[in-house]
């Protein structure tokens, strides 16, 4: 069982709150953006084991921008975007830049999931505001290592 | 020249492709896959699906081609897709395209490490082996069928292989 400990300051007192990752993940809203049906199914399988109830998919950048924007406008914003880089039409990098240019999406975690393993690509994505980066092939163990970091990032960047 | 570079560094290219194939099949399909030595060289095997991604740079044009038996691809897809989802041509294509994407991108990035400035296209299914010559040829046994990975460029033909148990 993976645990995330975080501290909430309250009236000069600090409380340690330890919750399981699964308990924190259940109510997360996640969208997978990848033109590969295989990848969308693989990630859905991995994420389902965390009890995440809302897992949506988009098969290209344009659809992703549309779906994420609509969800946000409808009061049900996505918390995490798992985003492929190389897609027909708009690339994942274009989608990343699109949302990082809009303050209302500052609390949305964007994790690149891509076969691009060049250090230059990783640095480019992080500098553009990616919350994390995973290199394909992505194993369940890779996600086990990454998800607590993303959940921690969400806690630190909570919507006001 | 990229062709000479690839020829002179075939073991390294082979190691990189073999490593990424092994990692991919382990992560996605929970399968241990090792390469064949010598590689299977078989043209016109029945029921094959071919998928290619085009790699192009200033002095290099070639295709990474992955070919697998269609029934094997269906078995791989079944390992990943939920049981309720019917397996159709898209499922088969998706499997082949993603394997090609990962292998091709790794190969492209290794070439770019040597400043060849190559780019890669989105993988697509193709109906037959590409014309041209193989700079790299590897085969792996997957579900008792051969999966072949080739890098085909102009004019030169070289075989290289790795092993299976």
Considering only CA atoms, which of A136, A143, A60, A67 is closest in space to residue A108?
A67
pLDDT (tens digit per residue) in B73-106: 999 999 999 888 888 888 889 999 999 999 999 9
C-alpha distance from residue B3 to each of B13, B107, B154 (Å)? 12, 13, 9
Considering only CA atoms, which of B104, B102, B127 is closest in space to residue A38?
B102
Note whether B105 contacts A137, CB cutoff 8 Å.
Answer: no
Q: What is the pLDDT of residue A103?
A: 95
pLDDT (tens digit per residue) in A69-106: 999 999 999 999 999 999 989 999 999 999 999 999 99
Cβ atoms B50, B67 nearer than 8 A = yes
Note whether A116 contacts B23, CB cutoff 8 Å.
Answer: no
- As a whole number, mean pLDDT of residues A17-36 equals 83
The CA distance from B80 to B99, in Å, is 13
Is the model's pLDDT at A9 over the cut of 60? Answer: no
The CA distance from A60 to A42, in Å, is 17
Question: Which pLDDT band, with edges at 50, 70 and 90, does B165 fall under?
Answer: very low
* Mode of pairing for the β-strands spanning B145-153 and B60-69: antiparallel
- The packing angle between helices B70-80 and B89-113, to 10°, is 90
For residue A45, the chain B residues in CB contact (below 8 A) are: 80, 82
Cβ atoms A13, B53 nearer than 8 A = no
Residue in A41, A88, A142 closest to B122 by CB: A88
Give the 3-state secondary structure of residue A136: coil
Residue labelled with tokens 């659809």: A63
Handedness of CA A37, A27, A106, A14 (dihedral sign): negative
pLDDT (tens digit per residue) in A114-152: 999 889 999 999 999 999 999 999 999 999 999 999 999
Q: DSSP alpha helices (H): ranges in chain B?
A: 2-8, 10-29, 70-80, 89-113
Tell me which chain A residue has its CA closest to the CA of residue B24: A137
**Mean predicted lDDT score pLDDT of chain B:** 85
pLDDT (tens digit per residue) in A53-76: 999 999 999 999 999 999 999 999
Task: Tally Cβ neighbours within 10 Å of residue B13.
Answer: 21
Contacts of A5 (CB under 8 A, 6+ apart): A16, A17, A18
The CA distance from B147 to B155, in Å, is 23
The CA distance from A21 to B42, in Å, is 49
pLDDT (tens digit per residue) in A30-58: 999 999 999 999 999 999 999 999 999 99
Which residue, among A44, A134, A136, would best test binding to B if mutated, counting the most B CBs under 10 Å from its CB? A136
Q: What is the pLDDT of residue B61?
A: 87
Tell me which chain B residue has its CA closest to the CA of residue A37: B94
Is the model's pLDDT at B137 over the cut of 70? Answer: yes
- ipTM value for the complex: 0.85
Q: What is the pLDDT of residue A140?
A: 94
* Mode of pairing for the β-strands spanning A29-33 and A80-83: parallel
Is this structure's pTM higher than 0.90? no
pLDDT (tens digit per residue) in B37-78: 888 886 667 788 999 999 998 778 899 999 999 999 999 999
Which residue, among A34, A38, A86, would best test binding to B if mutated, counting the most B CBs under 10 Å from its CB? A38
- How many percent of chain A have pLDDT more than 70? 88
Question: Which pLDDT band, with edges at 50, 70 and 90, does B155 fall under?
Answer: low
Note whether A41 contacts B81, CB cutoff 8 Å.
Answer: yes
Question: Which pLDDT band, with edges at 50, 70 and 90, does A160 fall under?
Answer: low
- As a whole number, mean pLDDT of residues B25-41 equals 91
Note whether B90 contacts A37, CB cutoff 8 Å.
Answer: yes
Residue in A35, A41, A137 closest to B27 by CB: A137
The CA distance from A127 to B146, in Å, is 42
Tell me which chain A residue has its CA closest to the CA of residue B82: A41
**Mean predicted lDDT score pLDDT of chain A:** 88
At residue B105, φ and ψ (nearest 5 deg) are -65, -40
Is the model's pLDDT at B163 over the cut of 70? Answer: no
C-alpha distance from residue A13 to each of A6, A8, A9, A16, A152 (Å)? 14, 8, 6, 10, 21
Name the DSSP class of B142. Answer: E
Note whether A138 contacts B27, CB cutoff 8 Å.
Answer: yes
Q: What is the pLDDT of residue B63?
A: 92
Which residue, among B98, B104, B113, B118, would best test binding to A if mutated, counting the most A CBs under 10 Å from its CB? B98
């Amino acid at each position: 069982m993976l645990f995330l400990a975080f501290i909430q300051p309250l009236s000069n007192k600090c409380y340690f709150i330890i919750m399981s990752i699964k308990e924190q993940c259940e109510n997360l809203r996640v969208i997978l953006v990848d033109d590969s049906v295989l990848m969308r199914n693989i990630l859905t399988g991995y994420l389902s084991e965390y009890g995440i109830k809302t897992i949506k998919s988009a098969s290209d950048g344009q659809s992703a921008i549309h779906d994420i924007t609509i969800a946000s406008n409808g009061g049900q914003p996505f918390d995490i975007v798992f985003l492929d880089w190389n897609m027909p039409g708009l690339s994942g990098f274009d989608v990343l830049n699109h949302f990082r240019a809009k303050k209302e999406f500052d609390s949305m975690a964007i994790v690149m999931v891509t076969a691009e393993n060049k250090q230059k690509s990783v640095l480019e994505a992080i500098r553009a505001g990616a919350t994390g980066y995973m290199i394909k092939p992505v194993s369940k163990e890779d996600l086990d290592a990454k998800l607590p970091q993303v959940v921690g990032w969400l806690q630190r960047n909570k919507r006001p | 020249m990229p062709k000479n570079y690839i020829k002179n560094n075939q073991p390294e290219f082979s190691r990189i492709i073999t490593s990424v194939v092994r990692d991919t099949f382990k992560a996605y399909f929970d399968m241990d896959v090792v390469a064949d030595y010598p590689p299977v060289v078989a043209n016109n095997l029945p029921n094959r699906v071919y998928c290619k991604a085009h790699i192009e740079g200033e002095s290099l044009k070639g295709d990474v081609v992955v070919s697998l038996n269609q029934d094997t691809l269906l078995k791989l897809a079944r390992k990943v897709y939920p049981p309720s989802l019917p397996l159709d041509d898209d499922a088969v294509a998706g499997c082949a395209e993603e394997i090609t994407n990962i292998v091709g991108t790794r190969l492209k990035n290794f070439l770019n490490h040597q400043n060849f400035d190559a780019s890669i296209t989105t993988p697509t299914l193709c109906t037959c082996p590409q014309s041209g010559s193989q700079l790299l040829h590897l085969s792996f046994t997957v579900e008792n069928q051969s999966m072949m990975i080739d890098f085909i460029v102009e004019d030169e033909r070289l075989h290289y292989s790795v092993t299976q148990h």
